[in-house]
Amino acid sequence: MRKLHVFGIATLAVLALGCGAGASKDDTTQGPGVDKPAASGAASNAAGSQAKKGEHAVVFEVTGDGVSKANSVTYGIGGNSSQANGTALPWKKEATSSDAFLMLSLVAQSGGSGTISCRVSVDGKVVVENSSQGQYAVVTCSHAG
């Protein structure tokens, strides 16, 4: 049992170090919901432009079929997460990350009956999508890579 605890602690330490591998001195630990000031010449990645060199453009999306709002949407990059409550669907949030290893999560609960879907894209490519249906259904999209 003791060996298992030591192995678990060592594994967590390696993961923590790996998650910060892409960070530079100028990076902050702000969650994905914090809007950073736009750099000169930088435009939104949703409009077809690119993130700064070394950064990944991440797009979180939640849609509904037969449901017009989400009771809650929780989204995160690495250990930082943010939440939007009572939001109209479709919902979309754009973020960037300079992490070498991306750990992304998106969880949403519908505000009624119907189908709720989530999708996460990195650099314009869909990396995960999922759907759930029913009364107050919960859907989860997670990606590590």
Q: Per-residue pLDDT averaged across 18-32, rounded?
A: 44
Q: Residue 104: which of 81, 137, 71 has the closest Cα?
A: 81
Q: What is the pTM of this model?
A: 0.68
pLDDT of residue 84 exceeding 70, the answer is yes
**C-alpha distances out from residue 22 to 78, 100, 122, Å:** 12, 5, 16
Contact by Cβ (8 Å): 126, 88: no
CATH 2.60.40.2880 fits 55-145, yes or no: yes
Domain layout of the chain by residue ranges: 55-145
pLDDT at 35: 56
pLDDT of residue 141 exceeding 90, the answer is yes
